[in-house]
Chain A
């Protein structure tokens, strides 16, 4: 009984990580219908950026992530404004092709710069610390991951529904031409959205890099988890994305509890199962 409870809790905590992977993807897709196939590689890129800041400047990884956030925001803004905006239009193929190419460029750039060795960001002993919550032990880092994921989703929801920028995001998503008549510049709005997505990517990278080993080629696998979380949750719903991440996380920990080889497969099976029962995801948006 305790072991089942333990598995569920570990699954929920793992789901927090997947929700962080997915939140940026969900944000960008929700606003500009852009599927960014380089999303996983951008997470890995951010992890290397944090690693460099930690090793070169001797920063604490959390401080390094804070330093990396504005850099990644600027990189995301420029990426969207100067490259991805040119791919947006009625045809959905150009953004897919360009971000697929970007994924290859980032992977090979990182391989050139950092070799294929797997790395890890040291969190100064925090990664092995744990708390006893009743009958189960919970790792401090996994707990922080989930708390961060919830904080990110609350933050993004507040931004979306309580601020002038959030109104502009939704208006531009509805109708960019009419948004222009209101004084909104859709290209800048899209650039800002991708910048914010890259801040979330940096937070995801912090936990990716401190919890497990990473190397330049692991991005696409993270992209798959992120996609699955977004689709299970229902496109465009951030809380749904968290639920989707948790579904995959629980499925993976149960799979691993039965047989470690089944961990990844169990997550994908859960995804297919949800699609079978709820093709539009758990929390689909009413208007689409």
Chain B
């Protein structure tokens, strides 16, 4: 049984339907990537899983439990943490406070704490007292990832973490992923950068217009099939 699974997941914003029956599965220890053009529904999918958008209870299963209708605080308490698109650091909080808020209100056991996050991203240790928003884009992304790790999640959702960052910075951030996997997290990355997605993921889902159009291991996918699934022609 998959650790995290969506079945027939739909989502709408008022009259606009953004997802039309999306089925994805994430197995224990696996990293999957979700690729697709702008507006394909990738971020909506992440928002539905993380509880920002409510769904039908049975549309999202986590460890066998129906979690589709739960609000965000209940989802993170169960072990699914999100790195939101655009990083969304808290402007009134320092770097260290941003990290600490990742485990608000609960005692969490596991590999990740302030020290291990600082070991993962040493630059953050130097900048710990700065306001979160005073950092460079790449460093802010490190804070956002560290903040999600602080809850020691079983599933880490990463929404467009390479957006707006220089290639060298993106490489640095993805270099941390093997250690995040080793520490026990299963990972979902949403990417527009197909090359990066194929490199990091065990399996890839391609989305277009609110539907999954292609799925498979990176080695089995050709440039042509991805292109067709991405753009529909």
Contacts and interface: CB of A to CB of B under 8 A. Distances in A.
A132 interface: no
A161 to B, nearest CB: 9
Given A170-B93, A171-B90, A180 B51 contact: yes
Interface string A161-193: 000100110110111011111111100000000
B25 interface: no
A53 B92 CA distance: 41
A287 interface: yes
B206 interface: no
Given A164-B104, A164-B105, A180 B90 contact: no
Given A167-B93, A174-B90, A175-B88, A182 B71 contact: no
B91 interface: yes
Contacts of B51: 180-181
Interface string B50-66: 11100000000000000
A178 B84 contact: yes
Contact of A174 (B91, B102, B104): B91
Contact of A182 (B91, B92, B147): B147
Interface stretch (B3-11, B27-35, B72-80, B192-200): B72-80
A173 B91 CA distance: 10
A65 B84 CA distance: 45
Interface residues of B, number: 26
Nearest to A186: B73
Given A168-B101, A184-B73, A178 B90 contact: yes
B104 to A, nearest CB: 5
A181 B89 CA distance: 12
Contacts of B37: none
Nearest to A185: B73
A279 B52 CA distance: 38
Nearest to B100: A167
A179 B92 CA distance: 12
B106 interface: yes
* Chain A at the B interface: SS class: helix
A287 B81 CA distance: 28
Contact of B77 (A170, A175, A183): A183
A123 B73 CA distance: 47
Contact of A181 (B52, B93, B100, B106): B52
Contact of B82 (A179, A181, A185): A181
A167 B72 contact: no
A182 B101 contact: yes
B104 A182 contact: yes
Contacts of B147: 182
Interface in B110-147: 147
B76 A164 contact: no
B97 interface: yes
B104 A168 contact: yes
B186 interface: no
A158 to B, nearest CB: 15
Nearest to B144: A178
Contacts of B52: 177, 180-181
B43 interface: no
Interface of B: 50-52, 71-73, 76-77, 81-82, 84, 88, 90-93, 97, 100-106, 147, 151
Given A170-B92, A180-B72, A181-B51, 12 more contacts: A164-B105, A167-B100, A167-B104, A168-B101, A170-B97, A171-B92, A175-B90, A181-B50, A182-B151, A183-B103, A183-B105, A185-B71
